[in-house]
């Protein structure tokens, strides 16, 4: 259950929020400040929390760690791809001067500024998705350290 109707709806909402946030900072004139991209992480983390919660609510008793992780990773990958495509269109068609300004802030290999900048944007999104998913899943994972599980497993240090 990587993509359900609800997880795709949340993913599209995250994409819209990321694009709106970028357009707001671009309209203010501070889009070349790379440190403002760190606010993308809380937007993505809150969205991934909602995605993993949606997967958990669909099957609370059978929720597995990998179900949540793969849903978060797949949706994060989708979000990163769409946002990178948006940034490519914006940077190279709408405001090509921003590429030079951003390249001055991010040390990239010479001659590959465009590709390196898009790769930086994409990898930032994917790494944020991986880390956020791994941080969020334990919130929903049921503990194995419950009385019912301990009694059914009969650990070695338990006297019968």
Per residue in 40-79, pLDDT tens?
A: 999 999 999 999 999 888 888 787 888 888 999 999 999 9
pTM: 0.80
Residue 32's pLDDT is 75
**For residue 158, pLDDT beyond 60:** no
Round to whole Å and give the CA distance between 46 and 50. 6
What confidence category does residue 117 fall into, taking pLDDT thresholds of 50, 70 and 90? confident
Residue 94's pLDDT is 86
Packing angle of the helix pair 5-28, 40-58 (nearest 10 deg): 170
| 39-58: b (≥16 Cβ within 10 Å) or e | ebbebbbebbbbbbbbbbee
CB 101 within 8 A of CB 41: no
Residue 2's pLDDT is 62
């Amino acid at each position: 259950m990587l993509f359900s109707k609800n997880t795709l709806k949340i993913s599209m909402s995250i994409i819209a929020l990321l694009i709106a946030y970028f357009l707001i900072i671009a309209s203010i004139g501070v889009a070349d400040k790379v440190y403002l991209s760190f606010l993308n992480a809380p937007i993505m983390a809150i969205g991934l929390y909602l995605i993993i919660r949606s997967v958990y609510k669909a099957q609370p008793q059978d929720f597995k760690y990998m179900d949540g992780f793969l849903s978060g990773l797949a949706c994060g990958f989708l979000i990163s791809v769409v946002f990178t495509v948006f940034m490519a269109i914006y940077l190279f068609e709408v405001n090509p001067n921003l590429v030079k300004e951003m390249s001055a802030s991010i040390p990239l290999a010479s001659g590959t500024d465009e590709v390196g900048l898009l790769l930086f944007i994409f990898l930032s999104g994917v790494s944020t998705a991986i880390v956020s998913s791994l941080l969020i899943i334990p919130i929903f994972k049921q503990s194995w350290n419950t009385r019912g599980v301990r009694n059914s497993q009969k650990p070695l240090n338990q006297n019968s």
